[in-house]
Structure 1
Amino acid sequence: MTHDPRTLRIGGHDVPVVTARTVVVGTGSAGYCAADRLVQLGHRDVVMVADKIHAGASRNAGSDKQTYYKLTLSGGDDDSVHEMARTLYDGGAMDGDNALAEAALSARGFLHLVDLGVPFPQNRFGEFIGYKTDHDPRRRATSVGPYTSRTMVEKLEAKVRRDGTRVLDGCRVVDVVTAPDPAGGPGARRVVGLLVLRTDVPHDGAACPWLLFRCTNLVYATGGPAGMYATRVFPHGQWGASGAAYRAGVHGKNLTEWQFGLASTKPRWNVSGTYMQVVPRFVSTDADGGDEREFLSEAVPDYGRLATLVFLKGYQWPFDIRKARDGSSLIDLLVHRETVLRGRRVFLDFRRNPVRDDFDASALSPEAYAYLERADVLSGTPIQRLRRMNEPAYRFYLDRNPRVDLETDLLEVDVCAQHNNGGLVVDAWWQSNVAGLFPVGEAAGAHGVYRPGGAALNSGQVGATRAAQYIAARRDDDPVDERTFAAAAAPVLDAALDLTARATARAAAGVPDNTGDLLRGVQRLMSEKAGPVRSARSVREALDQVHAWLTGYEDLVTADAASRRAVDRTFLVRDILTSAYVYLSAMADYVAHGGRSRGSVLCTDADGDLPLVGHGPDAARELDLPDLYRFRLDGGALDDEVQETAWVAPGGGVPATDDGPTWAPVVPRDGADPAGVPVFRWRPRRPLPQDDDFFENVWRDFRDHGNIL
């Protein structure tokens, strides 16, 4: 097929429609991998769409040494597929079939990238040398430097271009088009298409700004809902489109499980690895940059302990509540107090040593001292240590916008949202509960509470491969006929046209455009009330505000018809508000279910404990911190359960419950709720599969159906 748009009459409107068996939404490493694998497997009727091809986390995010996690492929260390699967599964609340698939296909996905030209380091005998990353008992991690995921995207994109797959840019996801699924149970839905807004087409011109896709499958590689948070290290332009999936009936999984960590904010970049190991000085200022204070020493007066905790952030970069009472994540909490509670700005100062002018390495822990001794950086200033240990890490900021010279400038940082370990529910083939919709990459809720560093890059490649295998083998049917499609798409298109007409009419009547204000408002609210430190009260306050915005959205949002950006934001903000509403409801349900602090989140508990001073005679004394920071650890109490979420549209029914526990709302509201109602259930996680691996049996099944069931 040419995949050229063909104008169809949809609900009384002439709209261009592209027809393809499979549409891949998103042009990150997972999306390109899916498109590549589909063509490789003989499923060539594929088209890709993106809101902005060169945006997104895969292409624009990274760290000091961005990690890719896979099965051990060097040396004499013991390892196996099931051992790696167990490591992933032990992160808590992860389904076993996803864990086994991510382990089993890790080598295949990794070596595919190698063959495409990603230069993962190998020794002279061809072994791919590894190192340990966080939550990793083996040396499974590898890297090509700060831009591992960017290199992956570039090589995968080049392959997709060589395959001739069409890629459409400037397409904002508006809604997923679904229809009843005859093959499913009561209330089951299937994908039949996608509605997007062409952001490169003026809304007040002659050309139609809407574009519909008629398809059998959607590979949903839209990334996590990064747009919900103001304080985030996700690159600008990474927004996500999870709201459209929830409105279409796709369930969520483990939505409470985010990963937060220290990052620079201008530009956005993780300050892990060497940036922390050289022990920079932390300072805070008022909003205007005055009243400079070295605030860490207020809470951690012991010089050696303070320097060691900062050093350890290089190894232990993500905020981990298990290390918050007397470990390195105390640094994150102290930064959070400065920025959120005190309203101050926090900076890293590489020009001067912390606390004192000279650097007393002898006060460090033996682990930290030995590392810096091997690097021959036991003296000097942090910038001198950084440039000796990792010159590219210094030069990185010289090439950014805005440019920062760590020799002369302070680097502003905060505790930022970095990755959503939860997401849209997936089965063993990365298909959601809506037939034909396959979330892959960060959009998929494939992870548990904890995951090894770099597991997300592997998960994206594995999920994309599994989805492509299933589509090529089991979902190679033509899209529904034009009449069936038009009937399903008409109400979706009508709703989008009505929202646009209302928003632009208010602007024409003189009401100021408020799309930017609404966007910033929800982002600030989420960072303040539902970030790495949250309480039942703060979550409920945020939930009530987001519910009010979403309930009145059609009569609230105002957009200038002459501004493509404003009309685009009308749907972007709606998507973010929908996601925030579902996620906040999940956070409230987690607390109501008895959930406590775990992963990268502190849940305030009035009966909990505060972090400790943690040294010498004061080892057991609690720090003088607000009660907001009192917490009790979950201790793995909910590791064997998975929280699932469904968004019930106004007037819709609660999902069928014949496959598990019943669904219930956490915040009952009287009457029909115009914002819809998120409902929840807690189910046992799927165990690690223990199949019979007798060769003859597997070979026979593979010959019969490829073991794609």
Structure 2
Amino acid sequence: MIQIDNKIKFQTEYRECNTLVVGSGSAAYNAADWLYTLGQHDIQIVTEGQKMGTSRNTGSDKQTYYKLSLADDEPDSVYAMAKTLFSGGSVDGDTALVEAANSIKSFMKLVNLGVPFPKDQYGQYVGYRTDHDETQRATSCGPLTSKLMTEKLESSVFGRKNIKFMDHVRIVKILVDEEINSIFGAIGIKQVENVVTWVQFNCTNIIYATGGPSGLYRRSVYPVTQTGAHGPAFLAGVHGKNLTEWQYGIASTEFRWNLSGSYQQVIPKYYSVDKDGNDKREFLMDYFSTGKDMLNAIFLKGYQWPFDPRKIDTNGSSIIDIAIYVEEILKKRKVFIDYRENSRYAIKDNSFQFTFLNNTAFEYLENSNALQDTPIERLKSMNYPAYELYASHGIDLEKMPLNISICAQHNNGGLEANNWWESNIKHFFPVGEVCGNFGVYRPGGSALNANQVGSLRAAEYINSHYCVAPILKENFLFKIKSDMDELENFCDEILKSEGSMNVKRYRENFQKRFDECGAYIRDIRSMKKTYLRIENDIKKFTHENRIDKFTDLKQAFISFDLLISELVYLKAFIDYAEDGGKSRGSYLIKEEQMNFDQVKRYGIKAKLDNGKRDNLIQITSFKDGKVYSDFRERHTLPHTKSWFEEIYNNYRNGSSH
């Protein structure tokens, strides 16, 4: 062990503001931007890393933004869109209506900031159909839509407004006055070499835009730089909502990216090799009745990218995910997608046979001018930016295949919030993916709309109701004394620990453990065993782990945060299943009799929820080291009958704010 505890220097820094915005993605910047526009200028943005996070570093073949239709003669309405969001299951109706009603306001703000969403010569913002939706509400400005959103919002925040900003700070403690059930600040850790600064934020409100809990899983398409920060919220008493609901899908692993849309619709070749790189074989035909069925299922993966247990019957598109599970997890083989060659089951007379495709697949490729002979030629013709994206990261799809896996991609659950995005703890507003308002099945792109609408609503509510100064400095410093003692004791113990495992290597172990029991194939017995292990790991964390260099101290806080989050999430998974919940969304609850190797004739016969629990929302809480779940009825979808004069007067007197 390296003795470094006597070399680390600790200091404190005090900051105060009306609203602390945590994060530097599109939701965080939008919240700060709206607050300033609405008149609340006493804002502090704090982030672990300005260039980190999902908004700036992820996307798909054409990353989707979902909003009300703005082109052609397709009928649409706020209520119709809200109904679609509500129909996804376990969604509060009032939240769905808010997201629909504010979608155009949020979308047009991005347009006005310069996000290049495409429009035709008449000014119509055209759309297309996305998953879990029958309309053409979806739009995109390419594979990096959320990155462009983040950059334009960032320019607005820093280019035109004097908003305070602090980088390289991770929030490790959210401060709550339990007597009034309200936050009053936060504590962050900033480390520069051997100097650790406790940054003490005295604030009236916190807008929490820290993204999904990506560090729970090792097989993840989230950027490596993002781990999530749910732990401090759970420790502060913020409730979880629908934590069971995730999206998992096929992604490349060396460069983390979703392989949806065009990447599947050009029908690449799938193959696997053994651990030594030998025994190359096209394994998908082990799971499909005919080559034609396999090819059409690959095409459908473009639309039906997330794993879906409803699509694992004979020849369903999610059989591909099951096949990858068998190859990678059960047989310990490596799986690849190759755009250089066609599957041998698509070849006749030395060329790709488009006649093997059904009408939907063929017409799509024909309309997209993608009837070339190889997958890479089809991809470059259909969606050249999708090819360029990999090239920009040193991966030429004309020369090399992609190592793939089924990865965690988005958490539809998260922290609980109402239709103003305020949590069960007053003055604490989770926005973006950290907020659990998405339900079971959401239309593709609705997450980007929700992060813009949620951050707008939080800003509006704060501006209307919570524009008061934070508590006096001397009162604040007195109230946080025990919190500071707790943080310093944690540091003292981990610095003196002679544990056998470095905190970062230890994290890889428990991430792998979570993969094995709590990803898209969930085993109840395994989850229960893992839950007990996590409980024990939390109790012994500072004694069984160690740090080997200065920066490991911050990593210790991250690993502990993730362990708390894993405990809460896994207990929610277990409680859902024990309450009678069945497979739904993007996960399959494994039954003992399932044989994943024998799916060619009959598929997988899972016990599906089939919407039986759509009206229930799971609320999970963490208190005194224990996790508790409850289920409540979701809020119904309001069916308003608007009368202008009544709404006008309500708006004027502030009752609708």
The TM-score range, normalised by the shorter chain, is over 0.9
Q: Does 1:149 align with 2:146?
A: yes
Match of 2:5 in 1: none
Match of 1:166 in 2: 164
Q: Does 1:464 align with 2:455?
A: yes
Match of 2:189 in 1: 197
- Contact (CA 8 Å) 1:263, 1:416: kept in 2 or not? yes
Question: 2:573 is matched by which residue type in structure 1?
Answer: M
SS of 1:20 mapped into structure 2: strand
Q: Does 1:351 align with 2:344?
A: no
Which is bigger in relative contact order (C-alpha 8 A, separation at least 6)? 2
Q: Distance in 1 between matches of 2:470 and 2:580?
A: 45
1:513 deviates by 5.7
Q: Distance in 2 between matches of 1:260 and 1:17?
A: 41
Aligned positions, number: 642
- Contact (CA 8 Å) 1:82, 1:103: kept in 2 or not? yes
1:38 deviates by 0.2
Q: 1:687 to 1:559 in 2, by over 3 A?
A: same
- Contact (CA 8 Å) 1:202, 1:209: kept in 2 or not? no
Q: Distance in 2 between matches of 1:43 and 1:378?
A: 55
- Contact (CA 8 Å) 1:530, 1:542: kept in 2 or not? no
Question: 1:126 is matched by which residue type in structure 2?
Answer: G
1:388 deviates by 2.3
Q: Residues 49-88 of structure 1: matches in 2 within 5 Å?
A: 49-88=46-85
2:382 to 365, 385, 389: 389
- Contact (CA 8 Å) 1:422, 1:445: kept in 2 or not? yes
1:213 deviates by 0.3
State the Cα deviation string for residues 400-425 of structure 1 (Å, max 9, x = none): 1xx22111211111111000000000
Match of 2:602 in 1: 622
Q: Distance in 2 between matches of 1:210 and 1:301?
A: 61
SS of 2:313 mapped into structure 1: coil
Match of 2:94 in 1: 97
1:236 deviates by 1.3
Q: Distance in 2 between matches of 1:73 and 1:488?
A: 52
Q: Distance in 1 between matches of 2:500 and 2:575?
A: 37
Q: Distance in 2 between matches of 1:393 and 1:705?
A: 47
Q: 1:156 to 1:281 in 2, by over 3 A?
A: same
Question: 2:585 is matched by which residue type in structure 1?
Answer: G
Q: Distance in 1 between matches of 2:218 and 2:377?
A: 33
State the Cα deviation string for residues 30-54 of structure 1 (Å, max 9, x = none): 0000000000000000000111110
Q: Does 1:638 align with 2:613?
A: yes
TM superposition score normalised by structure 1: 0.88
Q: Does 1:524 align with 2:512?
A: yes
Match of 2:646 in 1: 697
- Deviates further, 145-154 or 483-492: 483-492
Q: Distance in 2 between matches of 1:379 and 1:482?
A: 68
1:390 deviates by 2.1
2:277 to 274, 277, 289: 289
- Contact (CA 8 Å) 1:297, 1:355: kept in 2 or not? no
State the Cα deviation string for residues 21-72 of structure 1 (Å, max 9, x = none): 1000000000000000000000000000111110100000000000000001
Q: Residues 468-487 of structure 1: matches in 2 within 5 Å?
A: 468-487=459-478
Is there any run of 5+ residues in structure 1 with no aligned partner, and where?
A: 1-12, 183-188, 615-620, 624-628, 650-675
- Contact (CA 8 Å) 2:27, 2:455: kept in 1 or not? yes
State the Cα deviation string for residues 504-531 of structure 1 (Å, max 9, x = none): 1125xxx566111211011111111111
1:221 deviates by 0.1
- Contact (CA 8 Å) 1:606, 1:630: kept in 2 or not? no
Match of 1:362 in 2: 355
Q: Distance in 1 between matches of 2:22 and 2:179?
A: 22
- Contact (CA 8 Å) 2:500, 2:545: kept in 1 or not? no
1:578 to 564, 568, 579: 564
Match of 1:36 in 2: 33
Match of 1:233 in 2: 221
State the Cα deviation string for residues 651-692 of structure 1 (Å, max 9, x = none): xxxxxxxxxxxxxxxxxxxxxxxxx00011100001112345
2:177 to 179, 202, 205: 179
Q: 1:609 to 1:297 in 2, by over 3 A?
A: closer
SS of 1:33 mapped into structure 2: helix
SS of 1:524 mapped into structure 2: helix
Q: Does 1:218 align with 2:206?
A: yes
SS of 2:480 mapped into structure 1: helix
- Contact (CA 8 Å) 1:116, 1:155: kept in 2 or not? yes
- Contact (CA 8 Å) 1:178, 1:488: kept in 2 or not? no
Q: Distance in 2 between matches of 1:423 and 1:166?
A: 28
1:609 deviates by 9.1
- Contact (CA 8 Å) 1:310, 1:328: kept in 2 or not? yes
State the Cα deviation string for residues 550-606 of structure 1 (Å, max 9, x = none): 12113222124x422x00111000110000000000000000110000000011124
SS of 1:21 mapped into structure 2: strand
SS of 1:163 mapped into structure 2: coil
Match of 1:280 in 2: 268
Q: Does 1:563 align with 2:554?
A: no
Q: Distance in 2 between matches of 1:529 and 1:364?
A: 36
SS of 2:650 mapped into structure 1: helix
Match of 2:497 in 1: 506
Q: Distance in 2 between matches of 1:263 and 1:630?
A: 25
Instruction: Provide the identity percentage.
Output: 41
Question: 1:695 is matched by which residue type in structure 2?
Answer: F
Question: What RMSD in Å do the two structures reach over aligned CA positions?
Answer: 1.7
